[in-house]
Amino acid sequence: MTVRALVFDVFGTLVDWRSGVAREAARLLGAYAPALDAGAFADAWRGRYNPSMETVRSGARPFVDLDTLQAESLPDVLAQFGIASVPEDVRRELVQAWHRLDAWPEVPDAMRRLRERHLLAPNSNGHVRLMADLARRNGFLFDAILGAGYSRDYKPKPALYRDAVAAFGFTPAETLMVAAHSNDLAVAASHGLSTAHIARPHEHGPAGGETAPSVPVTYAARDLADLADQLGC
């Protein structure tokens, strides 16, 4: 089956969330915590990512966007690191760190190559404004913005994968879910999507990242440029 559209996980797959959040945490919190381990801070904040989304996935609350969830989890992270008296405007700016993440080095050029033959869209837990900001910062050219803001839910709920297929009108097999996370790809495959794993061995810094898929996939790539090669772009 010919692949006609690619939909992407973003955090970890297209952008280096850990380095970006650590950079902004060091910049914004240096006056309050001069000895802050900014990488550990980024890890701790990311550790609250799934539990906060689960409050929406479970139906315990209506959909709220990722900025809201990050802002709600931030006080506990600050407390974990013993950081006190951070003004509200600094906290708001810190939430915006997730809007200022940088792409992995090969991604912008690889996406330009992929877009010559395919429709492209994020299928991320990030909302529309967050995806738009990351796209503008990194030169991503998307044909649509799908994902949490479009489906009003969070992965791995079925709506995000089904809506990604329906949005472009291709068959599931013609729609390729691209991610650095095997669990994301396993769910996509269960809904009939083709899947591509991108190795990101440094996603979590010292803790590493996935070097290969742990589930069956349609394509396994060293990075996004390698996937573009495999797709003939």
Contact 194, 216 (CB under 8 A): no
Q: Tell me: the pLDDT tens digits for 60-80?
A: 999 999 999 999 999 999 999
Q: So what's the pLDDT on residue 165? A: 97
Q: So what's the pLDDT on residue 2? A: 93
Q: Which ranges of 81-223 would DSSP assign to H, the alpha helix?
A: 88-95, 107-115, 128-138, 148-151, 158-168, 182-190
* Rounded Cα gap, residues 141 and 228, in angstroms: 15
**3-state secondary structure (DSSP) of residue 207:** helix
Backbone angles phi, psi at 156, to 5 degrees: -100, 35
Neighbours of 132 (CB within 10 A): 17
Cα radius of gyration rounded to whole Å, the chain: 18
Q: How far is CA 18 from CA 8, 13, 15, in A?
A: 18, 12, 9
* Rounded Cα gap, residues 164 and 167, in angstroms: 5
* Rounded Cα gap, residues 61 and 64, in angstroms: 8
**DSSP state, residue 103:** B
Q: So what's the pLDDT on residue 86? A: 95
CB within 8 A of 166, min separation 6: which ones?
A: none
* Rounded Cα gap, residues 165 and 173, in angstroms: 9
CB within 8 A of 197, min separation 6: which ones?
A: 179, 180, 182, 185, 210, 212, 213, 217, 219, 220, 221
Q: So what's the pLDDT on residue 93? A: 97
Three-state SS for 35-93 is CCCHHHHHHHHHHCHHHHHHHHHCCCCCCCCHHHHHHHHHHHHHHHCCCCCCCHHHHHH
Q: So what's the pLDDT on residue 112? A: 97
Per-residue pLDDT of the chain (233 residues; tens, 9 = 90+): 799 999 999 999 999 999 999 999 999 999 999 999 999 999 999 999 999 999 999 999 999 999 999 999 999 999 999 998 999 999 999 999 999 999 999 999 999 999 999 999 999 999 999 999 999 999 999 999 999 999 999 999 999 999 999 999 999 999 999 999 999 999 999 999 999 999 999 999 999 999 999 999 999 999 999 999 999 99
